[in-house]
Structure 1
Amino acid sequence: MPELQSHNGYYLWHYVPNLVAAIIFVVLFVLVTVYHIWLIVKTKTWFCIVFAIGGILEIIGYAGRAIARERTGEIGPYVMQSVTILVAPALFAASVYMTLGRIIRSVHGESLSVIRVNWLTRIFVTGDCFSFLVQASGGGLMVKDGNQQMGQNLIVAGLVIQIVLFGIFWLTSVMFHLRLSKYPTEASTGGNSPWKSGLWMLYTVSCFIMVRSIFRLVEYLMGSDGYPLRNEWTLYVFDAVLMFLVMVAYAWRFPSAFQIRKGSNQSTSDVENYDMTQQDTQRHSIRKSKR
């Protein structure tokens, strides 16, 4: 049975990582990531590449935990698993944000979005990238002597940004869903765009990522003496399982149907310049209902 080893007099781990659990999730993430890559290539849904990269980071992370079982005193495996598992969900989130904009365009519902569609993806993805960089920086500082507190503060800040973004994103999605249900567009009633299942997929994925982010926030707020960092099962239940379900749910309603391809009947210019009369009618109806 491996024993905990210290690194320069400091214990990186509070327990010896479970080898079986780590291997199980390496296998699970390999399977679902390979499936996502196959879907991306098959349907040419290139904007989902960042989602697959998130899966690759999860694989690296749990492989790092497997390696660390016999090397708890080495900094390499610890950093390898700590940073990759921490930041991978930010890449899942980026794909989720981009998917909403494509769903809105697919049903010609730009006028029903509370945030202008041209700005929607930019705002959320930019915020997500910032959250990613803040968390990654914090993860790097956590393993340097004398910088643990600063690293922890950065990780907490990055997680707060991620949670706030998801809250705003969820409200934006729900408001669009309600408006489209009340004022349906011709494209949304034609049966060609599975927008409802697409939105429900986003709700499901967002919920999983939100719960995971709240867990990680609590984990870092409680610090190294807190229950989560001292009990490995919490990581697997509130992070590994949830992120695996995120990848499964995203594959279930893979957003290839919401792509806007050049030369198709739903080209970007066609979508952005669709029937202005319909837009005016929708805006008028919404304003009237608010009076």
Structure 2
Amino acid sequence: MATDTEDLNLYFYNPSTALAVVFSVLYFLLTLYHFHISILYARKQPIKHRYTIPLFVAALISTAGWSVRIASIKNKSSIPLYATSASYVVISPIFVCATLYLLLTRLIRSSLPEGPAQVFFHIPPRWLGRMFITSDIFSFLTQCSGSGIASSGNWEGNLKDVGTNVLLVGLALQLATFSTFLLVLGRVVRRVDRSRDIGFDPRVKKVILGVWIAGFFVQTRSIYRVVEFGLGIDGYPFRNEWCLYVLEAAPMFIAIAVLGWYSPVKLMQQKAQTEITMERTGITGRGKTVATSERGTV
């Protein structure tokens, strides 16, 4: 039996307040942890690892997105609340990708000797990171534009279709960029493993393990979003809430949590400090080159 309330419901299902509360709390805890590790702890260290700050931003935006969703569920006819929640949740993973792209350049510099060994696809690490970040920013702006266009038309009519298509382009670009990142990361790992004289520091291996795990869940989420917006509002993902939590909320929570557990701030800080100590005590070689490259900031 249709009612006026149902007619004004912006959701295609009966959304769960409990799940929105649970993920609001979980992401809030991640926000507190990454604020501690990426800002409070990192600022006291002699070697700066500022590239993890976007993880804090991602957790913060996700917390806001799921918190606003609670208010949106209580007022299902509010387009601003619905659009704000949806936009925050979609955009926040971009900041996770930013940390991974910047971390990739650090891994290349710290694990491979200077020169041709650090070049991939004829691109040096500094420009490789810049290219990924530039694509990430463009993806961010495209997704924001798409969300803005759709919401300006109250997520109805032609503006909704145009905005959704623009948002889909941004998501597809993000997926393509991240797929390329995983390809380059695989080649970095293979190049280091094939060298008998290099090999990964055990602490760096832990960081890379965290990156692979996080990368899997980020990629899973990205594929889901492209499929979701590709199928449109009549597709299965849009009309079943479990898809949002199983393929968006949970994967991104795991990704951000894993990058906190295998924190580059702590592990690579320990590695760099060890190498600086080796250099000061007169031990030279690869450690000296790495220590020098790690002193810079992002």
**Same fold flag (TM > 0.5):** yes
2:197 & 2:30 partners in 1: Cα distance? 35
CA, structure 1 residues 10+69, in 2 after alignment: closer, same or farther (shift >3 Å)?
closer
Confirm or deny: 8 A CA contact 1:32 1:248 kept in the other structure: yes
State whether structure 2 residue 104 is matched by structure 1 residue 104.
Answer: no
Confirm or deny: 8 A CA contact 1:75 1:143 kept in the other structure: yes
Segments of 4+ in structure 1 off by > 6 A? 266-269
State whether structure 2 residue 292 is matched by structure 1 residue 270.
Answer: yes
Confirm or deny: 8 A CA contact 1:17 1:66 kept in the other structure: no
State whether structure 2 residue 138 is matched by structure 1 residue 126.
Answer: no
Q: CA deviation at 1:43?
A: 2.6
Q: CA deviation at 1:242?
A: 0.3
Tell me the matched-pair count.
Answer: 264
Which digits, 9 at most, give the CA deviation of each residue in 1:46-92, with x for residues without a partner?
22111111111100111111111121111221122111001000110
Which digits, 9 at most, give the CA deviation of each residue in 1:150-202, with x for residues without a partner?
1111111111111111111111111111111111455x46x4x6222222221
Aligned to 1:20: 18
Q: CA deviation at 1:12?
A: 2.6
Match of 1:209 among 209, 214, 218: 218
**If the length of structure 2 is used for normalisation, what is the TM-score?**
0.81
Identity of aligned residues (%): 29
Q: Secondary structure at the match of 1:204?
A: helix
Aligned to 2:77: 73
Aligned pairs for 1:141-160 within 5 A: 141-145=149-153, 146-160=158-172
Which digits, 9 at most, give the CA deviation of each residue in 1:95-132, with x for residues without a partner?
01111111222224452441311112101111111111
1:49 & 1:269 partners in 2: Cα distance? 22
Which digits, 9 at most, give the CA deviation of each residue in 1:15-55, with x for residues without a partner?
23211000000010011121111111213332211111111
Q: One-letter code of the match for 1:59? A: T
Aligned to 1:248: 257
1:170 & 1:221 partners in 2: Cα distance? 23
1:73 & 1:48 partners in 2: Cα distance? 37
Q: Secondary structure at the match of 2:234?
A: coil
**If the length of structure 1 is used for normalisation, what is the TM-score?**
0.83
Confirm or deny: 8 A CA contact 2:112 2:192 kept in the other structure: no
Aligned to 1:275: none
Aligned to 1:32: 30
Confirm or deny: 8 A CA contact 1:13 1:72 kept in the other structure: yes
CA, structure 1 residues 149+140, in 2 after alignment: closer, same or farther (shift >3 Å)?
same
Unaligned runs of 5+ in 1: 273-291
Confirm or deny: 8 A CA contact 1:64 1:81 kept in the other structure: yes
Q: Secondary structure at the match of 2:14?
A: coil
1:170 & 1:4 partners in 2: Cα distance? 48
